[in-house]
Amino acid sequence: MTVNRTIFGRPLRSVAFDIFVSGAVALFAVAGVVAQPGGWKATLVGVAMAVALLFRRTHPSAVAAVVAALALGQVVAGWGPLAYDIAVLVALYSVVKYAERLRDGVLAGVVAAVGVVLAALQTEGPAWWASALYFGLVTGAVWLVGLNVRTRRLYVLTLEERAATLEREREAEARAAVAGERARIARELHDVVAHSMAVMIVQADGARFMMDRDPATARAAVKVVADTGRQALEEMRRLVGVLREPSPPETAAAPGAADGAGVVEPEHRQPVLAELPALLDRFSDAGLRVRWTVTGEPASLPPGLELTVYRVVQEGLTNALKHAGVGATVEVTLEHAADTVAVRVVDDGRGRPPVRPAPSGGHGLVGMRERVGVYDGRLTAGPRLAGGWQVQVRLPLPSTPTTEAVAA
């Protein structure tokens, strides 16, 4: 893990580099105190330039103005170019690279050009133009390097901002997808609980009327009421758990749901496992080669759990049609065990893209993960080494038995 250390709100490496540059300029100024024109006064000017360079990243335009003013005072004093005048080039580079507006860099370039002419005029000998050419080339090269680095820096910042924006959009879309899927799960669980409550009322009425004439039937009806009530209570707890999950404000959900074969299910309709063969036929008609296998002794599942199994198969087939394509072979396995029910949807990935994109059956893995999580199940999804994609879901069965008998 990379740790970015900061000091005074700035990266430690940047501060250390600026201190090094400032120290080098100050060293040049102090080292020439004896031999350079101006003596200790020139040294003070160089030290002042070095101190100003400490702020070249945060206040580049102000630093450039201060260094330019000090350099102008040096020229007026007639000291000529000195070793610590490297600070002028550093300030020029900094204002071109770090200034908010490139206009400041252009203005600094013009001032530097004037300084080049003034410094060349103070050079001894008739070939002052050679000094002007040399100083001009060095100054121009520094300005162009600063401009190039500035362009690359702004380009990188633009890419980082764009990446951050896309990441925020993806996170927002994921939160919206989770919120929409949770709202849909909550509606379906609400319908399951309402159905259970209706069954309890019918059974209770039947038990009340049969209590004197047929006590055995009445006892069976009361048992159904108790079992259904326990199941409804468990579904209600799951419903409350879904609604209590932290999520962003719910987005509007389209009424009904379309599977990958293009069939729209009406809103509030609760599919059951008995309808799985019809679902498989629809996907076969859409172009998939579906193989259906049921292992184990089928058990009577609670309506909510039964709905989850149906939705997992539906979403798995939809993803296979969308991504593996028409003509792909899909194996759907439903395995019943004593305490679990498992679903496996595997495609070979060898189909061809459909002529028209298949409609989405929901929110893909997000929806399946939310549904499986409601029942404390385990979801595994990913590519296969042999090609294609697989989805495996294992759901624990409730400990309370489910009775479907209805009292006469």
Least Cα distance to 311 among 226, 368, 238, 392 occurs for 368
Least Cα distance to 310 among 291, 234, 339, 318 occurs for 318
Q: Where are the alpha helices (DSSP H) in 83-214?
A: 86-98, 102-121, 128-210
Least Cα distance to 395 among 318, 317, 306 occurs for 306
Domains of the chain and CATH, by start: 6-122 (no CATH), 178-246+258-408 (3.30.565.10)
Query: pLDDT tens string for the chain (408 positions)?
Result: 444 577 666 778 888 888 898 888 888 888 877 777 778 888 898 899 999 999 888 889 999 999 988 888 888 887 777 888 888 999 999 999 988 888 888 998 898 888 888 877 776 666 667 777 888 898 889 999 999 998 998 888 888 888 888 888 888 887 777 777 777 777 766 666 766 677 677 777 777 777 777 888 877 877 777 777 777 777 666 666 666 555 444 433 344 455 555 555 544 455 678 888 888 888 888 788 999 999 988 877 887 788 888 888 988 888 888 888 888 899 999 998 888 999 999 998 887 655 444 444 445 677 788 778 878 889 988 888 888 889 999 999 876 544 443 333
Burial class (CB in 10 A: 0-12, 13-18, 19+), 322: middle
| Amino acid residing at 19 | I
Q: Where are the alpha helices (DSSP H) in 245-325?
A: 276-286, 303-319
